[in-house]
């Protein structure tokens, strides 16, 4: 039977009164749609007795429920109109059940969104901060599970046997397992990162492979923005197996260096320099007073070494550099006032003339320059 024959047969079996009644059923559902939804959600509001819970459910299921009521009106209208034994009526049942599954899944997808009230409530219950990546990761997992369930149920509704598909996949389970090994390792690595929480979203981290700010974490990888504004994607399995330095969690920032002064510096002036510089650091409010060391520690071939070891209270890179610049300028000022010179790379050469009547050895000093 072709389409025209089917349409003619249907036209002969359907009465005009049935058509009017079917459209009347649809019209009733369209008219009372808003009233029914408002009544349902007011009941939910009374049951939960909490405005936030009512808003959560309304935000997730209001639109799907409105579409369901309209769809129900169309379904009942067509069911009344079509003869019961027709294949079209059977197909209509399948379409209706599939639509109900999709609308329910739509509401669940909205409910599992990371900005939804449900996950916000979970975040408050377990006291997570705004930078935690657990809620975004949990949202992705839930949405993936819901999406898979929707596809599975709709496929089953249309006669696709998911058990047969799973059994068929079992024939190639070894190959699939080997192919999915890296993906599974990345997922487990992401879970380890989230549970151990070595860093949070927005943190500045350093690993053997990359340095930058954490922007996001997914099933497979962590996304990092480098200082060159490049976007680097690092597999979670790789990142979880590397040492991670989290610079954002420093309570203070270290400054350590050795200042080389001239080898012939006066002992008293050298002592005055170390005393003044240590006092200067202790009086600076930007320096952490717990650990401040300025000591004459080294004898070198052409210089004397003064060690500086202290911490700044700030960990912000720009502020840290400003403090370090101010301290370097102060060090130069103190050296000038005390008459202590910085050391230059140099070497001394002693020449001795041969012979019995030779005079005393002569000493020559040369200063090394770059490139010599």
Q: How distant, in Å, are the alpha carbons of 64, 73, 109, 153, 197 from that of 134? A: 28, 42, 17, 29, 9
Sheet of 231-235: strand order equals 231-235, 221-226, 211-217, 204-206, 245-246
Could you tell me where the DSSP H helices lie in the chain? 3-13, 16-48, 51-81, 87-111, 117-125, 134-157, 162-171, 173-179, 181-196, 236-240, 267-283, 317-338
State the pLDDT at residue 372: 38
State the pLDDT at residue 282: 93
Averaged over 128-137, what is the pLDDT? 59
Per-range mean pLDDT, top range of 48-57, 145-154, 179-188, 277-286: 277-286
Give the tens place of pLDDT for each residue, 174-226. Answer: 555 555 567 677 777 777 777 778 888 888 888 988 989 988 877 778 899 99
* CB atoms closer than 10 angstroms to residue 283: 9
């Amino acid at each position: 039977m072709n389409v025209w024959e089917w349409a003619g047969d249907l036209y002969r079996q359907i009465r005009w009164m049935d058509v009017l009644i079917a459209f009347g059923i649809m019209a009733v559902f369209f008219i009372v749609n808003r009233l029914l939804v408002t009544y349902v959600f007011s009941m939910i509001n009374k049951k939960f007795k909490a405005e936030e819970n009512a808003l959560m459910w309304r935000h997730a299921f209001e639109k799907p429920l409105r579409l369901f009521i309209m769809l129900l009106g169309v379904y009942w209208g067509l069911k009344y109109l079509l003869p019961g034994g027709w294949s079209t009526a059977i197909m209509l049942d399948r379409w209706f059940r599939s639509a109900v599954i999709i609308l329910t899944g739509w509401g669940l997808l909205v409910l599992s969104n990371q900005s939804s009230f449900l996950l916000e409530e979970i975040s408050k219950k377990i006291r997570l901060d705004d930078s935690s990546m657990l809620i975004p990761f949990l949202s992705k997992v839930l949405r993936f599970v819901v999406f898979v369930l929707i596809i599975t149920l709709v496929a089953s509704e249309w006669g696709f046997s998911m058990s047969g598909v799973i059994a068929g996949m079992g024939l190639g389970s070894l190959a699939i397992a080997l192919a999915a090994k890296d993906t599974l390792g990345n997922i487990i690595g992401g879970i380890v990162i989230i549970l151990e929480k070595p860093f949070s979203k927005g943190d500045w981290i350093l690993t053997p492979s990359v340095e930058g700010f954490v922007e996001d974490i997914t099933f497979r990888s962590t996304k990092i923005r480098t200082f060159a504004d490049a976007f680097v994607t690092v597999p979670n399995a790789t990142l979880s197996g590397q040492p991670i330095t989290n610079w954002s969690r420093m309570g203070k920032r270290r400054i350590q260096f050795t200042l080389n002064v001239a080898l012939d510096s006066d002992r008293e002036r050298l002592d005055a320099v170390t005393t003044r510089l240590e006092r200067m650091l202790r009086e600076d409010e930007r320096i952490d007073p717990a650990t401040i060391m300025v000591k004459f520690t080294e004898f070198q071939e052409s210089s004397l070494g003064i060690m500086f070891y202290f911490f700044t209270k700030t960990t912000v890179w720009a502020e840290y550099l400003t403090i370090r610049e101010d301290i370097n300028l102060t060090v130069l000022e103190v050296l000038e006032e005390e008459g202590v010179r910085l050391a230059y790379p140099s070497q001394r050469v002693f020449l001795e003339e041969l012979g019995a009547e030779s005079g005393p050895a002569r000493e020559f000093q040369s200063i090394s320059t770059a490139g010599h």
